[in-house]
Amino acid sequence: MTNTTPPTPAFSSASLAPARPWRSEFGATLRLSWPLALANLLQMLTYAIDVIFIARLGTMPLAASALAVSVFGLVLWAMSGLVGAVSAVIAAELGERGPALRAVRRSTRMGLWLAVISGAAGMALCLAIGPIARLTGQEPGIVTLASTYMGLLIWSMIPMLAAYVLRSFVSALGRPIFATTITAAGIGVNALANYAFIFGNFGAPELGLRGAAIATIITSLFILAAYIIAIRLDARMHRYHVFGRFWMPDWARLRTIAKIGAPIAGTITAEAGLFAAAAFLMGSIGAVQLAAHTVALQIAALAFQVPFGVGQATTIRVGYFYGARDRAGMARAGWAGIGIGTGFMVITASAMILFPKALLSIYVDPDAARNAALVAFALPYLAIAAAFQLADGLQAVAAGALRGLQDTRVPMIIAIFAYWVPGFGTALLLGYATSLSGVGVWIGLASGLLAAAILLTWRWTRREKLELTRRAGPKIAPFAQTT
């Protein structure tokens, strides 16, 4: 049955056949990108607030929380990639058949199902924090604290993943500002909850490190509830009734999302593993080098949140045209995203070269004598970070464009190869077998990102020859069905 209802404003007729297609596409991508990028930056601030409060408890609780969060964050990030594939599926459905009310509702419903299933699996994985910590030689006291903290923290995973699915839904529907607003509100809730439950304020019990975990649970539930309320109150989104008949399965759609999302989770794990391995390499070289590495990497991570948001937006924009089977539109959306993401990284790379000490001052006092050694190591690391900013932005958005074409398996293979063969291989060789030491490790990181950028962009440029733009007829439940 053909749906004749006009497309949702998130993918309007103007975006299908604009008078100035390239100008229109750049504008549409920017409007979708900046709220997502800002939400990513605000999310980092949320984590920073946790550290600020926990640090007041002392060194042991801070070390234990850092250990637990390193495991929890990796699992959560990977699972977010898995469930986040729903954005590509929804975008294609919107591009293919107007508002696609039933199709989008079913995809969102199955995305939420997948959030629950993968979240439960992720909780089980995180409970291995004790054996992992003991295997890596952590102090027994830290292991005990980390296990206790993790035992509570894991209960925030399913709400976080469900909220990520709803974030993908509102973004695909042209409401990315909700992601920004809700994340910003979550910062306030997180700060108040930490203040209350860590130190026993506002009549709450004084729970110390356990209070920080409870604050995270409260914040995750608040954010999930905020998305539900926003969807209920917004007329455009409410008409999809995404929570209707939540118990009804659509196994084909669930498999579609999982098939697209599993390689994304694999890619995330490969990249996170590279940077974790680099930290271990730096730690074996020296404590000061590791500290300098951590500070420089935090600056690079802040800058990366913008092309990461652009990549998310590019997935949606390319997905719209992929669903509409508009190959020229796919090309415009992909190259517009790549241009915006890379252009921003030119700015951040220039800042790292021209104003490195100003950037370091975000985290440390670069003029203090006690930080002289750290700064001496961090400055060359930032110079290399400036070089890999372009590669990092390019590979993030190119991967996002390919995800819009629902192409994730080969990009995962590319990422694993790039990060671990030229990337970690170069870091290991130059870091240990030459006098470059820490600089050699950073050259290895840059090599991995550059290899990924070249190979992913090459695949994007060959999308037609590889028949990546060819969308077959619907393999999931047809629009005409009633649930």
- Amino acid letter for position 113: W
- pTM of the predicted protein model: 0.90
- Give the integer Cα–Cα distance in Å for 458 and 473: 27
- The candidate with the shortest Cα–Cα distance to 395, out of 333, 341, 322, is 341
The predicted structure's pLDDT at residue 148:
94
Structure tokens of 30?
């920017």
Nearest residue to 11 via CA among 309, 404, 473: 404
45 contacts: CB under 8 Å, gap ≥ 6: 187
Residue 175, classed as helix, strand or coil, is coil
Task: Tell which residue, 99, 111, 35, 83, has the closest CA to residue 235.
Answer: 99
How far is the C-alpha of 277 from the C-alpha of 420, rounded, in Å?
10
Residue range 419-456, pLDDT digits in tens:
999 999 999 999 999 999 999 999 999 999 999 999 99
CA separation for the pair 177, 182 (Å, rounded)? 8
Displacement of CA 288 from its chain's centroid (Å):
29
Residue appearing with tokens 């750290």 = 374
Q: How far is CA 208 from the centre of its chain?
A: 29
Distance CA 483, CA 474 (A): 17
The Cα 300–Cα 282 span in angstroms is 17
Distance CA 230, CA 145 (A): 37
CA atoms of 225 and 228, how far apart (whole Å): 5
Evaluate whether 360 touches 375 at the Cβ level (below 8 Å).
Answer: yes
C-alpha 199, offset from chain centre: 31
Q: Of the candidates 259, 258, 260, 264, which has an alpha carbon nearest to the alpha carbon of residue 416?
A: 264
Q: Residue-wise over 458-473: b if at least 16 C-beta within 10 A, else e?
A: ebbeebeeeebbebee
What's the confidence (pLDDT) of residue 6? Answer: 34
* pLDDT for position 8: 38
CA dist 46 → 192, 298, 394, 408 (Å): 12, 14, 26, 29
- From residue 139, alpha-carbon distances to 146, 263, 277 in Å are 11, 35, 20
Q: What angle do CA 122, 125, 130 make, to 5 degrees?
A: 140
Q: How many C-beta neighbours within 10 Å does residue 284 have? A: 11
What is the rounded distance in angstroms from the CA atom of residue 315 to the CA atom of residue 405? Answer: 8
For the chain, the C-alpha Rg in angstroms (whole number) is 22
What is the maximum alpha-carbon separation in the chain? 73
Residue 421 and residue 275 in contact, taking contact as beta carbons nearer than 8 Å: no
Torsion of CA 445, 451, 452, 453, to 10 degrees: 110
Q: What is the crossing angle of helices 21-55 and 209-233, to 10°?
A: 150
Give the span between the Cα atoms of 100 and 298, in whole angstroms: 41
The contacts of residue 255 (CB under 8 Å, 6+ apart) are: none
Residue 232 · residue 242 · CB < 8 Å: no
Please give the average pLDDT of every successive group of 10 residues along the chain, which has 483 residues: 38 50 93 95 89 85 85 93 96 88 95 97 94 80 90 97 97 94 96 96 94 96 97 94 91 96 95 88 86 88 93 97 95 97 94 94 88 93 90 95 97 97 96 92 96 97 95 49 35
